[in-house]
Each structure stands twice: as structure tokens, then as C-alpha cells.
Amino acid sequence: MHRYAVAALMAFLVALAALWVGQRVRVGAPAETRIHSIMHRELDLDAVQEARVDVLERKLAQRRLRLEGELKAANASLATAITRDHAYGPNVEKAVDQSHMAMGELQKATLQHVFAMRGVLRPDQTARFDKAVAEALTSPTVD
């Protein structure tokens, strides 16, 4: 019976950890939405710019799907390691590193996308865009 209680506790802790990681990954979503809003509503993009941004957004969406799948798989590996080992050891550390790598790749892809979108803008549009990006990166997050 003791083993089942430990396993249940570990499963609960893994679920909490996955929820926490998921919220941290999602923290970027409101900022991206704000940047997206500025791109399409406040910068007065011309038709050529809109078309270029649309291509960039489709590419990011495909890449994001793949990277989010990798993050989900890394988190599943972490859950397995935690449930199997019941301690912070080499397997858990390796799984944490894989999860961090996946999160980092997702962040890099998002930043590459932001810079690619900036490259579409005219000089008179970049200051507003840069301000929005800075605000998105420095605004307080909700825990």
C-alpha cells in the first residue's frame, strides 16, 4: 500500500510540475498576441508587407507545432524519470536538460520570427514595433 501512496504522490507532483512548465511556456502567448495586434492593426502594413508577414506566420506555426511536440515529449520523459526514480538523479537531470533544450528552441524560434517580422517593416514602423517587443519582454507575468 505504501508503494501506491508514493506513486500517487509522485504522479501528483509530476502533474503540478507539468502545469507549472505549461504556464511558463504559455507566458509568451499574450505578448505575442500583443505584437501580432500591433503588426496587423497599428503599423499600417501595406499589402506586400501583409503578404510577407503571413508567410512568416505560417512558417512559425509549423515550426511551433513541431517544437511544442518536442517539449511535450521532453516533459513526458521527465514525468517518467520522476516516477521511476523518486529522486533527483542522473535520469531526472537528463530529462530536465531535454525539457530546457526544447523550451530554449521554442524561444529561439519565436525570437527569430520576431526579427524576421521586423525585417519586413519600413523604418517609420520599427520604433513602434521595437517598443512593443521591449514591453512584451519586460511586462510583469502573472504567477
Distance CA 53, CA 34 (A): 15
Which amino acid belongs to residue 104? G
DSSP label at 86?
S
pLDDT digits (tens, 9 = 90+) for 18-39: 544 454 444 444 555 778 888 8
**pLDDT for res 69:** 92
pLDDT digits (tens, 9 = 90+) for 49-106: 999 999 999 999 999 999 999 999 999 999 999 999 888 889 888 988 999 999 999 8
Prediction pTM value: 0.69
Distance CA 95, CA 4 (A): 23
**pLDDT for res 33:** 72
Distance CA 43, CA 78 (A): 42
Closest CA to 78 of 53, 105, 102, 109: 102
Closest CA to 83 of 12, 26, 24, 1: 12
> What are the two backbone dihedrals, phi and then psi, of residue 44, each rounded to the nearest 5 degrees?
50, 55
Q: Confidence class of residue 132 from pLDDT cuts 50, 70 and 90?
A: confident
pLDDT over 80 at 119, yes or no = yes
Burial level of 13, CB count in 10 A (0-12/13-18/19+)? middle
For 130, the grid coordinates are 521595437
Which amino acid belongs to residue 111? L
Task: Give the pLDDT mean for 104-117.
Answer: 91
DSSP label at 121?
S
